[in-house]
């Protein structure tokens, strides 16, 4: 590959920053909604404490949108960001398939899943060596991005649709697949925190490894060179 090609396509960068805003607002407004009923259940229904599998703590105002308890306003913020979040997820998947970013940079090979290779990748990460892969991303990065893009974020959309009163009449089949409306609500909560955990780890790793380079790369595209890495088209 020629030196000076861009590491991140324009489509990737647009999605990254718009998605960050959407997730931040969705998560914080979701915490406010959680304060309205802090118990989680499995199945179609639940209300009593003894039926709950988890009682969520009450989140302080500085963590929520708005910064005081208002179920109506929190739902308004949640719905406002849900649409761009879902549409941008569809956009990035179309872009990744069209420009082959997913196949080239994120999909894994059978060889990478061999225990010896997985263990070597883990040891490299423990040494803060994140550039040991032959392509743009190493194995653990590929798995992490694949889980977030292929499972965590889509499940946020599907479970959100299942628990939304406005769309439930048209997607009753989705509620059944997820095991009931309360199960969908519990799964929505679980995947939201899974995304948050990924966000914390992702930011921490960026901070400890060339933060300015990574930030500028996600803003301007960055530059990368190497024989095994192809340019990601816009």
pLDDT band, residue 224 (cuts 50/70/90): low
User: What CATH number matches the domain at 5-224, 1.10.3720.10, 2.10.70.10, 1.20.950.20, 3.30.590.10?
Assistant: 1.20.950.20
**Mean pLDDT value of segment 80-96:** 96
- The domain ranges of the chain are 5-224
**Mean pLDDT value of segment 155-182:** 88
Give 14 or 166, the one with higher predicted confidence: 14
Share of the chain above pLDDT 70, in %: 90
pLDDT band, residue 210 (cuts 50/70/90): confident
The H or E element containing residue 207 is helix 181-208
d(CA 25, CA 12): 20
**Mean pLDDT value of segment 191-213:** 91
d(CA 226, CA 105): 14
Over the stretch 12-27, which tens digit does the pLDDT of each residue have? 999 999 999 999 999 9
The residues pairing with 219 across neighbouring beta strands, listed in sequence order, are: none
pLDDT at residue 168, rounded to an integer: 66
123 to 44, 202, 206: CA distances (angstroms): 44, 18, 18
């Amino acid at each position: 590959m020629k030196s000076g090609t861009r590491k991140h396509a324009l489509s990737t960068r647009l999605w990254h920053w718009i998605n960050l805003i959407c997730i931040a607002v969705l998560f914080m407004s979701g915490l406010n909604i959680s304060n309205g009923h802090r118990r989680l259940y499995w199945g179609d229904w639940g209300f009593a404490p003894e039926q709950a599998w988890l009682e969520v703590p009450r989140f302080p105002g500085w963590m929520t949108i708005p910064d005081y308890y208002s179920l109506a306003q929190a739902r308004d913020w949640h719905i406002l960001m849900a649409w761009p979040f879902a549409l941008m997820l569809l956009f990035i998947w179309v872009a990744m398939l069209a420009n082959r970013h997913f196949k080239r940079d994120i999909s894994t090979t059978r060889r990478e899943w061999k225990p010896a290779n997985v263990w070597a990748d883990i040891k490299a990460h423990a040494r803060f060596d994140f550039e040991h892969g032959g392509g743009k991303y190493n194995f653990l990065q590929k798995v992490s991005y694949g889980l977030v893009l292929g499972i965590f974020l889509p499940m946020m959309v599907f479970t959100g649709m299942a628990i939304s009163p406005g769309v439930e009449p048209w997607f009753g089949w989705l509620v059944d697949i997820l095991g009931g409306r309360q199960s969908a609500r519990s799964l929505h909560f679980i995947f939201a925190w899974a995304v948050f955990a990924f966000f914390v780890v992702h930011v921490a790793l960026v901070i400890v490894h060339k933060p300015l380079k990574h930030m500028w790369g996600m803003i301007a595209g960055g530059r990368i060179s190497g024989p095994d890495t192809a340019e990601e088209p816009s």
